Structure formats: structure tokens, C-alpha cells
Amino acid sequence: MKKNLVFILMLLCPVFCISQIIVKNDSLPANKYYNPIEQKVYSTEGEFKKYQNGKEIKTNGKGVKESALEQLVFLSSDAELKKSTSLEDLKDIIDKTNKIFEELFRASEKSGKIMIQFELKKDENIIRFAVRGDLDLDIMAEFEKRINNEEYPKSKDKPVKLQLVYKVNSYDD
């Protein structure tokens, strides 16, 4: 398997459920990351690093109960990302997605997590969702519709994958 580097800007979310499969990332070795959308484990030669406010962190606190972007996970190597996308493209994806999230979930009283996986390709992007918790399904349906209707940058070379994980009226895991 290719060496995958995952940079997590916020705390790593240890549990996501899809089709009744539950894997806790905190129970995996430091060089493995479970992707619930693909039901696949990514590995690296070193260990996955976690970042918060631009600094590497080693602890896992609960954080603040809020609705916000909790983490960004790159499932492609540094080399693949540099060759196939740009910081401006990644910022565009995050900004557009954050705007839609804020408009729909800012005042949500229900709690949960949303994981969005972007697979950027040359011709088309593939966007998948995973949800955990007690979210308003009507708002979630509108969120998916608006995300899928948005124009996002495409890959300049090979496909690259990234995930955005949002907490809705929740603490960090």
C-alpha cells in the first residue's frame, strides 16, 4: 500500500458507524486510520499526526460543544496532493462546504457528526457522506443536495481524497 500521510487539523474522530460496522480509531495502532466511508484502513510508515491551530497535538480533549468543522483528513500522500491540487483549491472546497454547513446547522439543537469525503478526479468529483447521531434528516438532505450541486475544483492529475468532519451541537470525540 502506498505511504499515506494524513494531516488532521483538529482532533481525530475515533468512532463512525456505517452499515452497522464500528471501528474505533483509538483502538488501532498509531500508523493506521479507519475510513468509515470506504470501510478501509489506511496505513503509513510513521504515524498519523494530529494538528490543532497549526500545532501538532498529542492529547485528546473534549473541546467545546458547538457546530463547527472538527477536522480535515487528507487520504492522499503529500506528493499526490502537490501534483493534483493546490492550497487555493483545497481552501475553496473548505470555504464552500463551511458556508453551506453554517447556513444549515448553525442553530441546530440536535447533536451528531457529519463526514464528507471528496474524491477529486480530472473529469468529475465523487462526494460521499456518513452521519452519526441524532441529526435532523430534512436538514441533512438539504445539506447533501447543496453540497452535491456546488462546483468544486477537480484534480489536475491523479485522484486525491480528503474528508471534512463536522460536529453538530457536539463536543470533540
Domain locations along the chain: 51-172
**Cβ neighbour number for residue 163 with a 10 Å cutoff:** 22
SS3 content of the chain, % helix, strand, coil (to 5): 25, 35, 40
pTM, two decimals, is 0.69
pLDDT attached to residue 9: 31
pLDDT attached to residue 53: 61
Closest alpha carbon to 151 in 127, 173, 128, 131: 127
- Ranges in the chain, pLDDT < 70: 1-30, 46-63, 173
pLDDT attached to residue 51: 62
pLDDT attached to residue 25: 54
Strand bridging mode 160-170 / 40-43: unpaired
CA distance 145 to 103: 13
CA distance 168 to 101: 9
Q: Which ranges constitute the DSSP H helices of the chain?
A: 78-84, 87-105, 137-149
pLDDT attached to residue 154: 97
pLDDT attached to residue 37: 78
pLDDT attached to residue 42: 78
DSSP classification of residue 25: G
CA distance 131 to 104: 15
**Contact by Cβ (8 Å): 11, 54:** no
pLDDT attached to residue 50: 64
